[in-house]
Amino acid sequence: MGDAKLWEKAESSLKEALDEKKISYKINKGDGAFYGPKIDFHIKDAIGRSWQLGTIQLDFQMPERFDLSYEGHDGKKHKPVIIHRTILGSIERFMGILIEHYAGKFPLWLAPEQVRILTVADRFNDYAEKIVETYKSSGIRISADIRTESISYKVRDAQLDKIPYILVVGEKEIKEGLVTVRSSGNVIGSFKKDEFLQRLLNEFLIPA
């Protein structure tokens, strides 16, 4: 659509924007939308495949076609430019790439369930539930597994569910106000429950 000069203006505008931000790029001739050129963002997944997701499209044509205008600071009529922006592309494809990239093991900030607390025996359930309440009030996505199953069984379930942090509570923990922390199949150590909450918040709020 439209005049070649407008296309050239749109293309040079996108190049200038990329150059100003020092973003490397390559030009794919003939790959623009019918109404104007675009910037496509390609993301590499865990095995090196490239996927086109986000896009920013510069449209000089539609304002011409619909005779759009706005009044500038100078009191005169000006022709606008439309920017079409898609951040993720297809949300289904984006989620598929993300799940595969992380092999289902999401980082803490992204995990639907960030922490799961496991009780060694039923008598520790109240302690676990209080920790859940405290952590939830701070914005942590946490649940408690208080089933009457062995601790090894519950740990295995949490690992299969790819929970970033698994907390185990028993006699020692309840006496000293602790949680014993596991991650990626390993025991990290025992922490005061409030201390570990702060560690979670620091990691959650400032993702690596």
**11-63: pLDDT as tens digits:** 888 999 999 999 999 888 877 777 778 889 888 888 888 888 888 888 888 88
Question: Residue range 98-119: average pLDDT?
Answer: 92
Q: How far apart are CA 101 and CA 152, in angstroms?
A: 28
* Banded model confidence at residue 206, pLDDT cuts 50, 70, 90: low
In a domain? residue 58: yes
Question: Residue range 125-138: average pLDDT?
Answer: 95
- For the record, the structure tokens of 34 come out as 């019918």
Query: Within this chain, do residues 194 and 163 fall inside the same structural domain, yes or no?
Result: yes
* Banded model confidence at residue 166, pLDDT cuts 50, 70, 90: very high
Query: Within this chain, do residues 93 and 119 fall inside the same structural domain, yes or no?
Result: no
Rounded-to-10 torsion of CA 143, 144, 145, 151: 120
What's the domain range around 157? Answer: 115-205
Q: What is the mean pLDDT of the chain?
A: 90
Contact 127, 180 (CB under 8 A): no
In a domain? residue 43: yes
**62-93: pLDDT as tens digits:** 888 899 999 999 999 998 988 988 888 888 88
- CATH of residue 192: 3.40.50.800
Q: How many structural domains is the chain composed of?
A: 2
Contact 183, 165 (CB under 8 A): yes
In a domain? residue 107: no
pLDDT score, position 22: 94
CA distances from 108 to 77, 139, 170 (A): 51, 12, 24
Query: Taking the CB of residue 146, how many other CB atoms lie within 10 A of it?
Result: 18
Query: Within this chain, do residues 120 and 58 fall inside the same structural domain, yes or no?
Result: no
Count how many residues are written for the chain: 208
> Of 5-9, 102-106, 147-151, 169-173, where does mean pLDDT reach its minimum?
5-9
Contact 51, 97 (CB under 8 A): yes
Q: Is 41 left (phi over 0), alpha (psi -120 to 50) or beta?
A: beta
